[in-house]
Structure 1
Amino acid sequence: MDSAFIVLFLAGLMTGFSKFSVGGMGLLVLPIVMIAFPGPEALGMILPLYIITDILAVWSYRSKIAWSVLARFLPLAFLGVLVASQLLANINADQFVSFLGLMIIVMIALGLYLDFRPASFMQKPWAAYSMGFFGGIVTMMANAAGPIFSLFLLEQKLSKETYVSTRAWAFFIINVVKLPFYISLGLLTLETTQASLYAVPGLMVGSFIGYHFLKKVNPVQFKWMIRIMSMIAAVKLFLFS
């Protein structure tokens, strides 16, 4: 339990820091938790942490929400969650680990592509539907759809305040929708919820650090550090599962 406590504390630390600073650590949190809890049940341990931080975020950003943008994006995200729940119900632990590794690699590749290429196509209606659908699948199976959601929202020409508020509410709504699916799949249980409580101290510490030290973080350097660490974790998952 000592090693599990350390792993969950680190997961909480990363989640809190990411939510209240530059973001981007979602790709790394799940592989960290899987050090102590290999398999899909790690998803159920992370979800309560995300919902806690989501509640804090939507309380902080409860105005200037672009509901019309969410209305185009969320319905297909819900469909993606439904499809992914069927995939989770029909794969074993080894297949899940390999799939997760591949998914992280794809998300990193998407981020690299967007660094150097314009994404104006995201303003097209079909892009909203497709990004919503694939985002729903990725968030259900890896809790790592941040790059997809951010990509879509950034290209909607929203103000900074509206972007932050809309993004916070998108994550909150989708994570709440995921709850009954995780429960029905046996991934979110009383035991996993109790275990996830070990991450709450790290979550509080990470949130405090992220909020107060955001201005001292170099976003570009931080982003590349997370990408490198995430790639190492993804290769380990994909090749050595």
Structure 2
Amino acid sequence: MHPDYLYLACAIIAVIISGLAKGGFAGVGALAMPVMALGVDPVRGAAILLPILILQDAVSVWAYRHSWDGQILKVMLPGAAVGIGLGWLFASQVSEVAVLGVLGAISVLFGLQRLWVERGQAVVLPSDSPGWVGFLFGIGSGFTSQIAHAGSPPFQMWVLPKKLPRDMLVGTTALAFAVMNWMKLPAYAALGQFTTANLTATAMLVPVAMAATFAGVALVRRVDPARFYTLIYALMILLGLKLVADALMA
């Protein structure tokens, strides 16, 4: 396949996955970056997706603007800022191949962690674990979000044991990742990724992403979630292994 066609196919699939995630299939969005990386270098692919994620975040934040936990945000967002800074430093100092390998490793670990959780085997932290633990998980969330737009597992591992009401959990998560995505803008700008070509690519993908978001809202009630998520996480592991293999053989 011609490289331009490969990029286009991967980009469309990635934004559809991202849209489905924002539309209700929570957790599947982490598959977007491994797919995107099949057609374009991972840093550029993440930069193309970032404005789309920010646009989609606006819808979620507006919908849950009255339901969020300020204490969780106060603890985790400073850590996320540190993690995003570390992710930027990593991407700026190493080769594209190294970033590809780390993206693949994150994808494999994410997929395995989610399959483990789906089997009811999650490691549960105490609901009253101290703030410094949340700060550390915030660092992990920020780093994986910067590299792979996949910051959910570290965030959820600290927040879920607190057993927030549903709307409070969704609203806090939406606001946290909306803020993180805005935090990533300077990092990607410093990496020189907001070029005319990249922003044009983003603009062309926005209609697909928004249509996929609304499709996700409609489909989430019609699809067997257990089988769907198992398939998604298995694909994430396989794609992650391919990216790691590609990095090792480069």
1:141 paired with 2:147, answer yes
- Give the corresponding residue for 1:176: 182
* Count of residues in Structure 1 that have an aligned counterpart in Structure 2: 241
1:79 paired with 2:82, answer yes
- In 2, the alpha carbon distance for the partners of 1:105 and 1:58 equals 29
- The structural deviation recorded for 1:86 is 0.7
Alignment of 1:55-70 (within 5 A): 55-70=58-73
- The 1:217/1:79 distance shift into structure 2, 3 A limit, reads same
- What is the CA RMSD across the aligned residues, in angstroms? 1.6
- In 2, the alpha carbon distance for the partners of 1:123 and 1:219 equals 31
1:130 paired with 2:130, answer no
Q: Where do 5+ consecutive residues of structure 1 fail to align? A: none
Amino acid at match of 2:161: E
Is residue 33–residue 148 contact of structure 2 (8 Å, CA) maintained in 1?
yes
Q: State the TM-score, normalizing by the size of structure 1.
A: 0.93
- In 1, the alpha carbon distance for the partners of 2:167 and 2:81 equals 25
Identity %: 24
Q: Which has the higher contact order (CA 8 A, sep 6+)?
A: 1
- In 1, the alpha carbon distance for the partners of 2:122 and 2:155 equals 17
- The structural deviation recorded for 1:108 is 2.2
More deviation, 121-130/20-29: 121-130
- Give the corresponding residue for 2:121: 116
- Give the corresponding residue for 2:7: 4
Q: Where do 5+ consecutive residues of structure 2 fail to align? A: none
- In 2, the alpha carbon distance for the partners of 1:51 and 1:80 equals 19
- The 1:107/1:59 distance shift into structure 2, 3 A limit, reads same
Amino acid at match of 2:197: E
- In 2, the alpha carbon distance for the partners of 1:188 and 1:220 equals 38
- In 2, the alpha carbon distance for the partners of 1:107 and 1:35 equals 18
1:151 paired with 2:157, answer yes
- The structural deviation recorded for 1:107 is 1.8
- The structural deviation recorded for 1:2 is 4.4
In the alignment, which of 46, 51, 75 is matched to residue 43 of structure 1? 46
Helix, strand or coil at the partner of 2:68: coil
